[in-house]
Amino acid sequence: MMNNFFRRFFNTEFLPMSEVKKIKITLVMFFLLIITAITIPFSFFFKYDLIVKIIVLAALVLGFILIALLIRWNKISAAAQVSIVYTIALTVYYTGGTSSFYGYLFFFIALTIIIFYQEIYSYLSFGTLVVALGMYFIYMHQADLMAVEDIANSFYIYAIILFTFYLIFLVQILYNEKIYIDLNYDWVKMNHLIARYQDSSLSYLNELDKKSRIQPSYEDVRFQKAVGDVSIFLSEQFRENGKEIINVRDLYLYIHERGLKKILENEEFSVATKKIANRLDKFLLNGRTDMTSMIFNFYTKFRSTAPLKENRYEYALDKLTQKRDEQIIALALLYQYLASEMSGFDEWDRMDRPLSHQEIAELMMSPEMEEFFSAELIAFFKDNGDLFEKYLARKS
């Protein structure tokens, strides 16, 4: 059990956030177990009645058991919140029983545990409560906390240190939250932006692979082995034997070949298998899926951009070149591309055919083309449209 925990702990960068949070709450549990064990002998020196000490210690033990049960039931968020309340209760118990400097340190311990979870709402609520209790403790026990009696109002130093500690980590958590929100917003925005282009790109890529007789990646033995190795590694982070995941990998590759619809309609497959296949559908490589978007987005993140040019985002031909012959050549090249390449959309918004001369002419006459071509160049195309069709259109 410990080997499994430490293996997961040292590989947290490969785990989802839910599992990382589970490891955090487990570490906090070990820490609270040590603190609770130390609290029992220290309780004899606190200024409480014996019955109060027994009730508090019993409540702490029950709280610790509750946290363990919540982790066992996979209620990680609830376990984290209970552990924070447990820490605050332990802090109140210590500070109520002693007015020494050790009680003051307990507020930092409580804040550290809250910071460890890196949750903005928990820090703003529970963290602010801890600071308020700390300020009250400092005010009520300022005489006991004065290190140098000659310094007037030296208890303000303790208050400033505690508040500064709270403020620094508040800024740090807010900054982390901003980064996380920006990354999610960027992902959602890019996902919507490239959705249509990915559909066309994947369709066109499949056609090119078929014409070139290129084997799809999911049929490559090396790719299948890599998927199997990664699946086993991730599965072993959650269970003892990770090789059972190979059956899921085989189903994942099978969906690429047969398609999800045929699997769901096949009565030979069990309901459990169909549920797993339905969940795997969003990770396929030969369709418009979140997995494809993640791969495209990750790949483009680390591509170096071209050197900055003043006319990098300038598409108007009369601004790119002042020579009339070069503008006519550019217009001819654009016409030939539209008439030869798959740029026409069908009823399902797939690019599956070149544009006809009539469609290109309508496009050239549209108001949007004035952003790219001057009025003189558009008029030139209109007057010589038959020549464009005769010499540059695709020959059937």
Q: Which run of H or E residues covers position 116?
A: helix 101-117
Q: φ, ψ for residue 353 (rounded to 5)?
A: -160, 155
SS3 118: coil
Q: CB 35: neighbour CB atoms within 10 A?
A: 18
pLDDT digits (tens, 9 = 90+) for 299-348: 777 777 777 666 667 778 888 888 888 989 988 998 888 888 876 666 66
Ranked by mean pLDDT, which of 98-112, 134-148, 376-390 comes out on top?
Answer: 376-390
Lowest average pLDDT, out of 32-46, 157-171, 242-256, 338-352, goes to 338-352
Which 8-state DSSP code applies to residue 214?
P
pLDDT of residue 153: 64
In sequence order, which residues have a C-beta less than 8 Å from that of residue 328 and are 6 or more positions away?
377, 380
Question: Over 90: is that where the pLDDT of 129 sits?
Answer: yes
pLDDT of residue 13: 52
State the Cα angle at 75 between 72 and 78, rounded to 5°.
Answer: 125
Question: Over 90: is that where the pLDDT of 117 sits?
Answer: no
Contact 33/64 with Cβ under 8 angstroms? yes
Q: What are the beta bridge partners of residue 353? A: 344
The larger pLDDT score, comparing residue 295 to residue 69, is at: 69
Confidence of residue 148 (pLDDT cuts 50, 70, 90): very low
Percent of the chain predicted with pLDDT > 90 = 6
DSSP string of 66-110, one letter each residue: HHHHHHHTT-HHHHHHHHHHHHHHHHHHHHHH--SHHHHHHHHHH
The larger pLDDT score, comparing residue 347 to residue 27, is at: 27
Question: Over 60: is that where the pLDDT of 2 sits?
Answer: no
46 to 11, 133, 180, 381: CA distances (angstroms): 42, 19, 44, 95
In sequence order, which residues have a C-beta less than 8 Å from that of residue 130 and are 6 or more positions away?
88, 91, 107, 110, 111, 114, 166
- Buried b / exposed e along 252-261 (16+ C-beta atoms within 10 A): bbebbeeebe
Average pLDDT taken over every residue of the chain: 80
Six-digit token string for 250: 């085989």
pLDDT of residue 132: 92
Confidence of residue 151 (pLDDT cuts 50, 70, 90): low
Confidence of residue 211 (pLDDT cuts 50, 70, 90): confident
Contact 381/331 with Cβ under 8 angstroms? yes
Give the whole-angstrom CA distance, residue 69 versus residue 305.
52
Contact 115/123 with Cβ under 8 angstroms? yes
Percent of the chain predicted with pLDDT > 70 = 84
Six-digit token string for 120: 């903005």
User: How many C-alpha atoms does 354 have within 13 Å on its Cβ side?
Assistant: 15
Question: Over 80: is that where the pLDDT of 230 sits?
Answer: yes
Confidence of residue 126 (pLDDT cuts 50, 70, 90): very high
Question: Over 80: is that where the pLDDT of 85 sits?
Answer: yes
